[in-house]
Amino acid sequence: MDLALLWFILIAVLWTGYLVLEGFDFGVGMLMKPLAKDDTDRRVAINTIAPVWDGNEVWLLTAGGATFAAFPHWYATMFSGFYLPLLLILLALIVRGVSFEYRHKGSTQAWRNGWDWCIAIGSWVPAILWGVAFANLVRGLEIDSEMQYVGGFWALLSPFALLGGLVTLGLFLTHGAVFLALKTSGDYQTRAADLAIKLALPSAAVAAVWVIWAQLAYSRNAWTWAPLVIAALALVGVVLTTRARREGWAFTLNAVAIAMAVVFIFGSIYPNVMPANDPANSLTIANSSSSDYTLMVMTWVAVFLVPLVLLYQGWSFHVFRKRLSRESIPSSPPPAAESESVGAH
């Protein structure tokens, strides 16, 4: 297989890992306040993702680094064209990360409420904007002959792109609700499972409208109907399994739907990496990739390091696999003691 094509596929795999794993992180962050009755409930929610959220973001860093090294023209055009949305996402992720670290360092309720809002905003913003960004990638952009995006910020907010934002928002909300039902017990688990049932159907409906619109209007390959059919079946399965309270299956099927959405996005733009409204100006796998030597070095590095990353992440999920409940949270831990315990945020 051509190395440039291989790295196009590997970057799609990295985005799949990021959106599946960080998707439930975002969902938990967005649902933390609506599902909570009090501060203890919010701490239960935070502690379900506390051991893994930063590890999940490694996939984003790796995807960005791989794009920079394997397709420098793609990276340059995307980061200059999507400068403002990507800056907003970056700021949201920073605020969210800081909030996880600092929320438990103050003892007043006002202090914790403030950081809770930061976690919520830091989860809602990227959950929507990632969908807007990928929808623009599918639709095609105003790129000139110098590989520069010239469409402006407001051109990124078309109805199709905004609907794409609602798709990722719905998928991540459902993902988060199902994850909370999987990771908690007692009354909190019941509330999360009930919410997952309410979210699954509208999430599937919005996704169905967007993918059919995308396939009929913008996909460049007929075979991308295949991932759409698989995603549709998976989302139907999510609706049925959430109603049957089979959260394990619901989480797996929602992950399959997210993965198939990534397959569709990358499949619909192939052989481009960034389609232009004028096809002559599109950035393709061939005209945007690095040299064969660079790609060969990257491939060998990936062969040795990716299995280690996967093993470490699998181990961390295994270690922190137990369910949490309100009883898992100390009633009034001192801030200094909280910072040393997973169940103390």
User: Band of the pLDDT at 6, cuts 50, 70, 90?
Assistant: very high
Question: Residue 336 has what pLDDT?
Answer: 46
B/e letters for 293-328, b = 16+ CB within 10 Å, e = fewer, are eebeebeeebeeeeeeeeeebeeeeeebeeebbbeb
Distances (CA, A) of 298 to 13, 273, 315: 15, 19, 25
pLDDT exceeds cutoff 90 at 339:
no
The helix/strand/coil state of 273 is strand
User: Band of the pLDDT at 81, cuts 50, 70, 90?
Assistant: confident
Domains in the chain (CATH in brackets) are: 3-299 (1.20.1630.10)
pLDDT in tens, 277-293: 888 999 999 999 999 99
pLDDT in tens, 36-50: 888 889 999 999 998
Task: List the beta bridge partners of residue 284.
Answer: 272
pLDDT in tens, 19-32: 999 999 999 999 99
DSSP sequence for 138-187: HH-B-B-TTS-B-S-SGGG--HHHHHHHHHHHHHHHHHHHHHHHHHB-HH
Task: Collect all residues with Cβ–Cβ distance below 8 Å to 114 and sequence separation of at least 6.
Answer: none
Q: Alpha helix (H) ranges present in the chain?
A: 3-35, 39-49, 53-70, 72-81, 83-102, 109-139, 159-183, 186-217, 225-243, 247-269, 285-288, 292-319, 335-338
Average pLDDT (306-334) is 82
Question: Residue 180 has what pLDDT?
Answer: 95
Question: Residue 325 has what pLDDT?
Answer: 82
Q: For residues 287 and 283, what is the distance between their CA atoms, to the nearest angstrom?
A: 6
Question: Residue 345 has what pLDDT?
Answer: 54
Is the pTM here over 0.85, yes or no? yes
More confident residue, 154 or 159: 159
